[in-house]
Amino acid sequence: MSNSYVLVINSGSSSLKFAIIDSVSGDAIVSGLGECFGLPEATISWKFNGEKTQEAIEAQGNHHQHAIKRLVTLIESLGFTNDIVAVGHRVVHGGEKFTSTVKIDNQVLTEIERLSDLAPLHNPAGAKGIEAAIEAFPNLPQFAVFDTAFHQTMPTKAFTAGIDKDLYTEYGIRRYGFHGTSHFYVSRQAAKILDIPVEKSGFITVHLGNGASVCAVQNGKSKDTSMGFTPLAGLMMGTRSGDIDPGILEFLMKKGWSQDQVFDMLNKKSGFLGVSHITSDARGILEAMEQGHEDAKLAFEVFTYRVAKYIASYLIPLTSLDAIVFTGGIGENSNIIREEILNNLSLLGFVVDSEGNDKARFGNEGIIARSELLGAVAMVVPTNEELVIARECVERL
């Protein structure tokens, strides 16, 4: 009997992450990355059986297409052709149209392209990956799994911006939220670990990676989340500012900054990088802080303070709280950052369990703090977005 593997594709503008996931065991059989697309040094690399291989991609033409064509021959050479049952694409923006995973046909693809208006950096790249994959794997069903879909359950009061309502009806300006697959997955896993039914659970899920967002998940449904119309809103991130006073934009433009300069600063030169002037990477911030770098310490403090403030305010959408759930590269690995966030929440009764916090790292889940006051815990749950995508596809075959 053949396996039930899904090829998961996450197509960015200059890169393409991929994985072959065993939808039953959850194992990643192969995982890889195409990068530097659009440049002569474009490469594709993958890991199989612990061994890493890297190759150059043909310099001319469409690198998304070249990379995906290479996947066809890679899958053949590994002998997995008959094991792959579907292709699952991570698509950033599903707007209000896509509230769950869909099987891709021409109409869906057109709609994803149409939504590029809302996600100009992401959806065109997603569409490129889908087109190349349909060409390369014409006989496999292909599915789109949207980052925004999980948040479509937010009530109107949570997604409405406090601006002229015509801007919503005319342009669709509202909170959409992102990282939905991760918030979905860790809320389900947390319920399993705590042995409570997800439909009677309350979580604040805290995804801290290069991008970062908080989500209030009541009874399995997203009730509010910190990213907004774009993934720039909410928490301070690696290079993104998160929330700032929009008056700053007007001020800078009056000082002669162009629109591109302002948004380049907010998206690429802010966050850990902007405050520390050293790095966008949390590990680098922690190392510099240890060596006494003051702006690295400031970046750490601004970040942890902002996360704690968001967590506290995300009690508002909930009717019960079982756990604060940390995930993402920082949330899964940095006991120091988690401890500082939880110390900022001491008024809510959270007391860190140092041993638990030390243990829950590098792929280990676990309870890291408890609040007698709220009858809740803080815990770590490693995320697995590829597995969600694989399972969503298989469920719809």
Among 239, 194, 213, which Cα is nearest to 376's?
194
- 295 interacts with ligand ADP by CB under 6 A: no
- 290 interacts with ligand ADP by CB under 6 A: no
Find the shortest distance in angstroms from Cβ 383 to ligand ADP.
Answer: 8
CB-nearer residue toward ligand ADP: 284 or 349: 284
* Structural tokens at position 195: 């042995």
Q: Which residue is nearest to ligand ADP (CB)?
A: 329
Residue of 83, 105, 147, 166 marked active site: 147
Task: Out of 204, 282, 296, 321, point to the residue binding ligand ADP (CB under 6 A).
Answer: 282
Instruction: Please name the residue ranges forming H helices in 149-292.
Output: 156-159, 166-171, 180-194, 247-254, 259-268, 271-276, 282-290
Q: How many CB atoms lie within 10 A of CB 133?
A: 27
Task: Out of 95, 129, 238, 382, point to the residue binding ligand ADP (CB under 6 A).
Answer: 238
- Rounded-to-integer distance, Cα 361 and Cα 218, Å: 26
CB-nearer residue toward ligand ADP: 7 or 33: 33
Which amino acid appears at position 2 of this protein? S
Q: Is 83 marked active-site?
A: no
Subset of 324-363 contacting ligand ADP (CB under 6 A): 328-330, 333-334
Among 206, 204, 282, which Cα is nearest to 237's?
282
Is 106 annotated as a binding-site member?
A: no
The CA-based angle 374-182-42, given to 5 degrees, is 150
- 211 interacts with ligand ADP by CB under 6 A: yes
Is 90 annotated as a binding-site member?
A: yes
**β-bridge mates for residue 103, sequence order:** 143
Find the shortest distance in angstroms from Cβ 369 to ligand ADP.
Answer: 18
Is 199 annotated as a binding-site member?
A: no
CB-nearer residue toward ligand ADP: 95 or 211: 211
Is 96 annotated as a binding-site member?
A: no
3-state helix, strand, coil in the chain (%, to 5): 40, 20, 35
Task: Out of 103, 114, 165, 283, point to the residue binding ligand ADP (CB under 6 A).
Answer: 283
Is 283 annotated as a binding-site member?
A: yes
* Structural tokens at position 48: 């199989």
- Residue 251 sits at φ, ψ, to 5 deg, of -60, -50
- Sheet with 84-91: strands ordered across: 51-56, 43-48, 28-35, 16-22, 5-11, 84-91, 142-146, 102-103
Is 202 annotated as a binding-site member?
A: no
Find the shortest distance in angstroms from Cβ 130 to ligand ADP.
Answer: 21
For the annotated catalytic residues, the residue numbers are 147
Annotated binding site for ATP: 17, 207-211, 281-283, 329-333
Binding site for ligand ADP (CB under 6 A): 209-211, 238, 281-283, 286, 328-330, 333-334
Annotated binding site: 10, 17, 90, 207-211, 281-283, 329-333, 385
